Chains A and B, each alone.
Chain A
Amino acid sequence: MLPLLETSDLATRLLQQCANGVAKGSVYALVAVGYTRVYGVLQLINFAHSDVYMLGAYFSYYPAKWLGYMPEGAEKPKVPFYVLGLAFLFAVSACAATGMLIERLAYRPLRNASRLSALITAIGVSILLQNVGQMVFGADPKSFPRYMDQESVALGPIAVADTSLVIIVVAAAMVGALHLFVQRTRTGAAMRACSHDMRTAGLMGVNVNATVSLTFALGSAMAAVGGMLIAMDQPRLTPTMGLLAGLKAFVAAVLGGIGSIPGAALGGLLLGVAESMVGAWNTTYADAVAFVVLVVVLLVKPSGILGKSGREKV
C-alpha cells in the first residue's frame, strides 16, 4: 500500500507544480507576444517592452488609489468591481499610448539606421523608463489593491489561487484574440505584409507607419494586461519588476520561434512549466533553467520551435 500512496503523493505534487508553471508561463506568454510582434515587423528586440509591463502594473494601481481605496486598512471598504474595470481600461490605454510614443520618438527616426543603433536605443529607453519609474513611483515596493479576494480553489487533489486561474484564462483569451486578429483581419494582413517586406507593403498601399504604431500599441496593451494580472496575484510593485519577467518572456519568444504568436504562447508555457518542474527538484536552480533552455534551443534549432528557418529578411 505504502509505495502506491507515495506515488500518488508524487503525482499530486507534480500536478500542482504543473499548475504553478502554467500560471507563471501564461504571463510570460502575454509579454512574449509583444516581443515577437515587434520583432516580426521591425526585426527589433524592444527591450523597453518589459518596462511597459511594469508601467501596466502601476497604471492599474493608481485608479484604486485615486478613488480612495489605497492604502488598504481594516476599515476601508472592498474595492468595487467597476474600479477593476476602470483600472483595466486605464492601464491598457495608457500603456498602448506609451508604446506608440516610444516607437514614434525613439525607434521611427532610426528605422533606416543600422539594427545595432536601434537595439542600443531600445536598451536606453528601458533604462530611462526604470529611472523615471523610480522618480515618479518611488523606489520602495508598493502593495496592490485587492480587486479580487485571493482565495484557494480546489481542483481535485490540488489547490490554486483564484487569481492564478484568472491569469490563465485571460492570457489564453488575449493571445488567442491577437492571433485571430493578425490572421483574419485586413489590418492583420497589413501587419503580416509589413513583416514580410516593409517596402513592398508600402508600395502596395499599406500605411506602414500606422501599421507599425498599431503593432506597438497592441503589444504594449498585452504587456499592460500581463502586469496587472501578475500584480493581482503577487501584489508587490517595484520599478524594476519588469527586468526578470521581461528577460524570461524574451527567452520564451525565442524558444517558441521569434515572430510567431503561437510560438510565443507555447514558449511561455514550456518555460513556466520547466521552471516549476526543476523547482520541484531544487529551487536554487529554477531561474538558471530559463537561460540554459535558451542556449540549448539556440544550439539545436536556432529558429525556435515554431519559427520558420530561412533566409534572413533584408
Chain B
Amino acid sequence: MRKALAAVALLAVSLATACGTKIGPGHDDKEVHLGLFVSTSGEIATFGEDTKKGVELAVEEINAAGGIKGKKIKLTHYDTASKPEEGKAAATKLATQDNVFVAMGAVASGISLAAAPEFQKYGIPMVSPSSTNPTVTQQGNYIFRVCYLDDFQGAACAAFAQNDLKAKKAAILQNQDDAYSTGLSDFFEARFKKAGGEIVAKESYKKGTSDFNTQVTNIKAKSPDVVFLPCYYNDAALIAQQCRAQGLNVPLLGGDGWESDKLVPNAKGALEGCYFGNHYAEADANPKVVAFVEAYRKKYGNAPSSLAALGYDVVYVVKKAIEDAGEFDRAKVRDALAKLKGYEGVTGKFDIDENRDARKSISMLKIEGEKFRFVRQINPSEVE
C-alpha cells in the first residue's frame, strides 16, 4: 500500500513537472525551427514522401531568398510510419525535445488527431497540409489546416454532376469499411438531393473486394446519368473496367482519392472521359502554379502531386503568418493564422475560417488519355 502511494505521488510529481516544463522558444538569432511529421514508410508512404518533397522545396526557396524575417528555416522531420501512435510520439519529440516553433503534419487524419493534443498542450501552432476529416481542427485553437474538408468535396462533386454533367439521376458505389468513402458518399447524396436530383442506387462493397459485378448490375438496372465513386484509385480502376464490361457507359466521378499516376494505367482505358475533384491542377495557368510545377520538376524530375502542392503551401502559409504576426511569438502567430484571409497558394486562394479550416475551391479534372485536363474550379459559395 505504501509502495503504491509512493508510486502515485511520484507519478503526480513527474506529471506536474512535465506540465510545468517551459519549452524553448523555437528560434534564435539566425534560425527558426520548424517541425514536420508525415509518414514516409508504411502503407501511405507515397503520400508522405510527396508532402515532404513539397515542404523541402519551399524551405529551400525561402532560405535562398533570405529566410523568414531574416531567419533561416531549420527543418526537423520524423517519420510517423502510417501509424497514429507514431504520430503522437513524433509530436512529443518535436515539442519537448526539439522545441519547434511551428509544426506541420500530418497527411492522414488519424495521425493528425493523435498528434494535435500534444501541440495544443504546449501552445505550438500545428498546420496540417492534407487531413480532410472535420474533427482534426476541433482538437484545439492551435490546430489549423490548409486543405478543404470532405463535406465540401462531396457537395462540390454533386454540384459538378448537376451543373456541368446535367445529371438528374446519380448512383453511388461506396466502400462500407472506410470513413473517407462513406463520408464523401453521404455529403454527395445530401447535396444532390437538396438541389432536386435523385439518388437511384446506393451500393456498398467491403474493403478488399475485387469483384464489383453484382453492384454494377444493380446500378445499371437503375440507368443513372452519373456514378459517384468515393474511393481510392485502385478500386476506381477496377470498378470502371467492370462497368464498361457490362455496358454501363455513363461518366464516373470521384474525389481526391483518385489522384495517382497509376490510375490511368490500372484502369486500362476504362476511365477515359471521367472526372474527379482534386486540390490543385497541374495544368492550371496561374503563374504561381506554373512556377511551382517547373521548380518541382527541376528538383525531383516528375510532376508534383496535390500532396506535394499542399506541403509546399503549408510552409508559405507559416511564413506569411509569422510575417503578419510581426514577431516570433507562438501565440501571435496563432492569431495571425486564425485571421489569414485571401491567401493565394498553388492549391488556390483561401481564407482560414472560424473553425481554423481552409475555405477554398476544388479543381475538377477530366481524364483524357494519360493526362488530367483542368475543367474548372468550384468555389465554396457555389454549394452553400
A residues with CB within 8 A of B: 9, 12-13, 16-17, 20-21, 23-24, 71-74, 139-141, 143, 146, 150-152, 154, 159-161, 163-164, 230, 233-236, 238, 240-241, 244, 275-276, 279-280, 283-284, 286-287
Q: Which of B241-272 contact A (CB under 8 A)?
A: 241-242, 244-247, 262, 265-266, 268
Instruction: Report which of B215, B220, B238 forms a contact with A279, defined as CB distance below 8 A.
Output: B215
Say if the beta carbon of B204 comes within 8 Å of chain A: yes
What is the CA–CA distance of A161 and B213 in the complex, to the nearest angstrom? 10
Contacts of A141 in B (CB 8 A): 234
What is the CA–CA distance of A139 and B41 in the complex, to the nearest angstrom? 12
Say if the beta carbon of B163 comes within 8 Å of chain A: no
Is A139 in contact with B176, judged by CB distance below 8 angstroms?
no
Q: Can you show 26 pairs from A to B with CB atoms below 8 A apart?
A: A9-B221, A17-B217, A20-B217, A73-B265, A73-B370, A139-B43, A143-B237, A143-B262, A150-B241, A150-B245, A150-B268, A152-B246, A159-B246, A160-B246, A161-B246, A230-B210, A235-B238, A235-B266, A235-B268, A236-B210, A238-B208, A276-B213, A276-B217, A283-B204, A283-B214, A287-B206
Is A280 in contact with B210, judged by CB distance below 8 angstroms?
no
Contacts of A236 in B (CB 8 A): 210, 234, 237-238, 266
Say if the beta carbon of B66 comes within 8 Å of chain A: no
Is A74 in contact with B370, judged by CB distance below 8 angstroms?
yes
Is B238 in contact with A71, judged by CB distance below 8 angstroms?
no
Contacts of A279 in B (CB 8 A): 214-215, 218
Contacts of B24 in A (CB 8 A): none
What is the CA–CA distance of A279 and B204 in the complex, to the nearest angstrom? 10
Closest to B205 in A: A283
Contacts of B218 in A (CB 8 A): 13, 279-280, 283
Is B176 in contact with A284, judged by CB distance below 8 angstroms?
yes
> Closest CB of chain B to A96's CB: distance in Å?
25
> Closest CB of chain A to B259's CB: distance in Å?
16
What is the CA–CA distance of A13 and B218 in the complex, to the nearest angstrom? 8
> Closest CB of chain B to A72's CB: distance in Å?
5
Is B214 in contact with A286, judged by CB distance below 8 angstroms?
yes
> Closest CB of chain A to B213's CB: distance in Å?
4
Say if the beta carbon of B369 comes within 8 Å of chain A: yes
Contacts of A164 in B (CB 8 A): 213, 245
What is the CA–CA distance of A164 and B266 in the complex, to the nearest angstrom? 18
Instruction: Report which of A12, A20, A72, A238 forms a contact with B213, defined as CB distance below 8 A.
Output: A20
B residues with CB within 8 A of A: 43, 176, 203-206, 208, 210-211, 213-215, 217-218, 220-221, 234, 237-238, 241-242, 244-247, 262, 265-266, 268, 369-370
What is the CA–CA distance of A150 and B176 in the complex, to the nearest angstrom? 27
Is A17 in contact with B214, judged by CB distance below 8 angstroms?
yes
Is A146 in contact with B268, judged by CB distance below 8 angstroms?
yes
Contacts of B220 in A (CB 8 A): 16
Is A23 in contact with B204, judged by CB distance below 8 angstroms?
no
> Knowing A143-B265, A146-B268 touch, does A160 contact B245 (C-beta < 8 A)?
yes
Contacts of A143 in B (CB 8 A): 237, 262, 265-266
Is B242 in contact with A161, judged by CB distance below 8 angstroms?
yes
Closest to B233 in A: A141
Contacts of B369 in A (CB 8 A): 74
Is B245 in contact with A234, judged by CB distance below 8 angstroms?
no
Closest to B248 in A: A159
> Closest CB of chain B to A88's CB: distance in Å?
20
Contacts of B244 in A (CB 8 A): 150, 152
Q: A74-B370, A159-B246 are in contact. List 19 more A-B contacts (CB 8 A).
A: A13-B218, A17-B217, A20-B211, A139-B43, A150-B244, A150-B245, A150-B268, A151-B245, A152-B247, A159-B247, A161-B241, A161-B245, A236-B210, A236-B234, A279-B214, A279-B215, A280-B217, A283-B214, A283-B218
